[in-house]
Amino acid sequence: MAIFAAIAVAAFIVVAGAFLFGHDHDVGGDFDHDFSHDAGPDVHGIVGIFSTKVIFTFIMGFGAAGAISRVYGADNLVASLIGVAAGIVLAALMYGIMLLFIEQQATSVIAPDALLGCTGTVTVPIDKDAVGEIGVSVSGEYRTYSARAQSAGPLQKGCSVRIVGMTGSVVTVDQDTGKTE
């Protein structure tokens, strides 16, 4: 029983420390790759089944359930099996709670693809071969972007424009005629 209890206490200390001194995630989830992955829930790759919090919650559940089983007279094998079952349940619960918290976090990142086709208003005039500025509402947020005109003519302040491209942090706009292509 003492071994199970020691396992539970040690794992509890690690889990508590991870929550008190940790950050939003356990291990860096930023990996560079050359393909898109738009399927599934958008949790930004932060929560993993093998995260420190999930693993040590499993270990804590294993130790606590094993210790309780030993107190009630179970032998080591039965206590270990009960500990594994309880650990899996608690780890799954921890994983679900972490997903819930991560999904509630807001992000201000707007993908470049979300800008294409949006209409906005020129806030700083865009002269021929020069950069101006536009204001546009995207995903419920008002943003301003540096902009170049696709056409040769200048675009005056207050002119309605449509975003047709993006190069780096500068969008390419064309005067909005109200027609959709």
Verify that 8 and 94 share a domain, yes or no: yes
User: In angstroms, rounded to a whole number, what is the distance separating the alpha carbons of residues 91 and 67?
Assistant: 18
Q: Is residue 181 part of a domain?
A: no
Does one domain contain both 117 and 67?
Answer: no
Question: Same structural domain for residues 132 and 78?
Answer: no
> Is residue 33 included in any domain, yes or no?
yes
Other C-beta atoms within 10 Å of 156: how many? Answer: 12
- pLDDT, residue 33, reads 46
Q: Are residues 80 and 138 in the same domain?
A: no
The structure tokens listed for 85 are: 């079952």
Residue 29 lies in a domain: yes
pLDDT for 180 equals: 52
> Do residue 131 and residue 81 come from a single domain?
no
Instruction: Say if residue 121 is in the same domain as residue 94.
Output: no
pLDDT at 51: 83
Domain count, the chain: 2
Range of the domain at 128: 112-175
Question: Cα 91 to the chain's mean position, in Å?
Answer: 21
Give dist(CA 111, CA 123) in Å, integer: 22
**Cα-Cα-Cα-Cα dihedral of 48, 53, 59, 63, to 10°?**
-150
H helices present in 22-164, as ranges: 52-71, 76-104, 112-115
Looking at residue 23, what is its pLDDT?
57
**Whether residue 125 sits in one domain with residue 142:** yes
Res 106: pLDDT:
67
Asked if 83 contacts 65 with a C-beta cutoff of 8 angstroms, the reply is yes
Please tell me whether residues 91 and 158 are part of one structural domain.
no
User: 87 and 36 share a domain?
Assistant: yes
| Alpha-carbon gap, residue 97 to 43, rounded angstroms | 13
What pLDDT was estimated at residue 45? 55
CB atoms within 10 A of CB 33: 6
Strands 170-175 and 132-138: unpaired
Q: What is the model's pLDDT at position 110?
A: 75
Report yes or no: 140 and 167 within 8 Å, Cβ to Cβ: no
The CATH number assigned to the domain holding 151 equals: 2.40.50.140
Q: Looking at the domain assignment, is residue 180 inside a domain? A: no
pLDDT mean for each 10 residues of the chain (181 residues): 90 86 54 45 62 90 95 94 96 90 74 83 89 88 88 86 88 78 49
Residues 77 and 141 placed together within one structural domain of the fold: no
